[in-house]
Chain A
């Protein structure tokens, strides 16, 4: 049985929660399939080129990369069998151009059968598909681990990965809760990949993005919904669960339902990954990847549509999601 590899993004000096969710899914799969579960992360060390000037990969001791002990402990307790740390002399950024070289090194080192990313981890959208292309793998987006004795991965489009499948697969794991199941005594291997970043892409600067450009989920309030206090309260609760922005038109600000910075003009093209449209919406949501309508008009071309009282439906959704995540 081939290795199951989980990419770990860091959130400061800790593993990103979405990566830990992927690790939890990886633990369930590896235990079911009899595979070894590797957690791998890429870290920056400006001295990496001096540590291994003549090789493409060289094992180092953990003492040479400070701060790894805590990360190793967290990953071990989250279920990893082994931890791989790829050290690069290039600054870390959630771009293939920045971390592609060391990540390819990890892939070549392990030749995994299944690679998991946290769907909401910063690097997932840049590294996941490229990883799939590199190893010729099927790609599942927003997948979840399901099943009892025979755990499998399933996405919402009917894609699945099972132990009996041939070929490699890459999955972006959506949601799930990280469980602390492992011990703290696991192997850690540090590999050095000098060579820097792909200089065809240069990051020149960064600034906060406008809400209109967000890819994060949004909960969009129609004017009718924005004027109903119960609906607004329930919408904000759901938005918190989804990590979503609450947006609306100018009247939603006047009603106190959204902050002024969250006002969206009706012609502004929104393209979030997920939109919960509540009430009668006068926004351009055509770029939305996944659209769920809650309110009087269900419409066509939507993934979900709940008619009836918006506040009651939103409340039920929140309750259901709370139960689902336990």
Chain B
């Protein structure tokens, strides 16, 4: 199956009757695969993006995930674009995809759901680097205020209040309401699909950022294995104090 087969719809184009502004729009990167344990954080990110009025969610990956992303975005009343691909990339690879979509959308503010999956967190910095944007991670509250965005972020034991002006990539850790079950999403007709070549990305070149295939680790069930796992979290102490 070629990438074109996976992207049957035409790339997103700027059209005259498109009510969304081309400059200064907000994009929300939902990631390349579904949430690890709960869609609560995905819903929270969508609701936060909806505060901006003209936000567009971006997702990449396989069809079931794109359908879920489009469904949750639609429930928050924001549009969604999908980049169908079976590539499994590292943080720099996905950042290239997001940056390309953001350029095509004209988005200067990129929100990233950094809580749903741990591997998404470093993508905040990578996207910011590619777009030459400011970055702000660990944001737990966000409020647009004209050209300024007010953000509260976690910095150690403190809650920092920040003001963001201009181009920025913001990592969100904002939960939606509790949700136990949700309906299986149906394929989205409204989601715009962008294939990699239409974004100026060569899948073969991008493939150099592919992660090596790894099997998922089963839960460690002995004290020795859990100790080995937790050892990387032990609070470091120096001999000098």
Enumerate chain A interface residues (CB-CB to B < 8 A): 14-15, 17-18, 20-21, 74, 78, 93-97, 118-120, 122, 125-126, 128-130, 132-134, 136, 138-139, 141-144, 155-158, 174-180, 198-210, 213-217, 240-243, 267, 269, 271, 273-274, 284-290, 292, 298, 301-307, 313, 316-317, 320-321, 324-325
Report the bound CA distance from A142 to B230 in whole Å. Answer: 10
Say whether, besides A241-B235, A269-B175, A304-B220, A132 and B91 are in contact (CB < 8 Å): yes
Does A126 lie within 8 Å of B40, measured CB to CB?
Answer: no
Question: What 1/0 flags go to B124-138 for Cβ under 8 Å of A?
Answer: 111011100111111
Known: A284-B178, A303-B219. A324 touches B227 (CB 8 A): yes
Interface size on B, residues (CB 8 A): 73
B: residues with CB less than 8 A from A are 36-38, 40-41, 44, 90-92, 95, 115, 118, 121-126, 128-130, 133-138, 140, 150, 154-168, 173, 175, 178, 212, 214, 217, 219-241
User: CB < 8 Å: which of A133, A179, A305 contacts B130?
Assistant: A133
A111 to B214, CA, bound (A): 31
A15 CA / B163 CA spacing, docked (Å): 29
Known: A129-B91, A201-B163, A242-B234. 9 other contacts (CB 8 A): A17-B241, A93-B155, A122-B156, A157-B214, A174-B233, A178-B236, A178-B239, A206-B158, A207-B158
Could you list 18 examples of A-B contacts with CB < 8 Å? A14-B241, A78-B238, A133-B91, A133-B129, A139-B91, A141-B122, A179-B239, A200-B165, A201-B164, A204-B150, A205-B161, A209-B158, A271-B173, A287-B173, A301-B37, A304-B220, A321-B230, A324-B234
Residue pair A201, B158 in contact (C-beta under 8 Å):
no
Residues of B within 8 A of A214 (CB): 154, 157
Q: Closest chain A residue to B122 by CB distance?
A: A129
**Nearest residue, chain A, Cβ from B114:** A271
CB contact under 8 A between A133 and B125, given known A175-B234, A271-B175: yes
**Residue among A78, A202, A207, A301 making CB contact with B163, cutoff 8 Å:** A202
Residues of A within 8 A of B135 (CB): 96-97, 126, 130
B232 touches A305 (CB 8 A): no
CA distance A325 to B126 in the complex (A): 33
Question: What's the Cα separation between A301 and B219 when bound, in Å?
Answer: 8
Contacts of A129 in B (CB 8 A): 91, 121-126
- B238 & A17 in contact (Cβ 8 Å cutoff): yes
User: Which residue of A126, A136, A240, A284 is within 8 Å of B92 (Cβ)?
Assistant: A136
Q: How far is the CA of A157 from the CA of B213 in the complex (A)?
A: 11
Are B223 and A306 in contact, CB atoms less than 8 angstroms apart?
A: yes
Contact indicator A320/B223 (Cβ below 8 Å): yes
Assess whether A203 is in contact with B138, with CB atoms less than 8 Å apart: no
Q: How near does chain B come to A27, taking the closest CB pair, in angstroms?
A: 13
User: Is B219 a contact partner of A142 (Cβ separation < 8 A)?
Assistant: no
B134 with A320: CB separation less than 8 A: no
- Find out whether the CB atom of A139 lies under 8 angstroms from the CB atom of B221: no
B229 in contact with A206 (CB, 8 Å) = no
User: Is B240 within 8 A of A292, CB to CB?
Assistant: no
Q: Is the CB of B173 within 8 A of A209?
A: no
**CB-CB < 8 A to B92: which residues of A?**
132-133, 136
